[in-house]
Structure 1
């Protein structure tokens, strides 16, 4: 299993809306590194959902329910999406400030490459953020 983090601005697509929808395709990625991370996602992989700009916090866990395919919002074939479904809401959101202060999380892309919208996580990083969110 692989682990990832995806970012969304809550005013564009929030965790609450995602839960109401029950699933979505993850579109709008126009960065090659983020696109390659989407292509690495496999059905069943777990994904942390992060509210960017407003809140700046991990709020929930989703899973990949369909592997990458052509982004239906563009005719450019280089851009892809995956389908995600919500799994659980964290008991307590995990803020970017908390993540930056945690010694186990210093090397994650969220800290090193703040603008990257889709990023892989090591199992230890994923588990640590989950533990912080379920304290």
Structure 2
């Protein structure tokens, strides 16, 4: 016997549709979109099958459908003194969730610590929460 369906609450939709973890904001799945990675000259550097699945402020959270890698890509990397747009890379969604979203690598989502004048992560509420839980 099938159970009658219940309307999905706003709280459940918020958790599943557009979750946010500090500066990491994930899109609802229907808003995942194709993403071509480019260098500072506007040339495509990776013709792979990639989707933007969220944002970390002005940076994109990208999923490579061929390799299952998840990474943060900064299209303005040259303005931030980085050698590449790849700010942070994980081999899988599970690794990204456990080590970045809910783990110690969260403090690297905006690039290497040495590129920052101050330790922004030490005042970030999400990072402080992760530390309180001993996740970071």
Say which structure is richer in strand.
1
Say yes or no: TM over 0.5: no
Alignment TM-score, normalising by the size of structure 2: 0.25
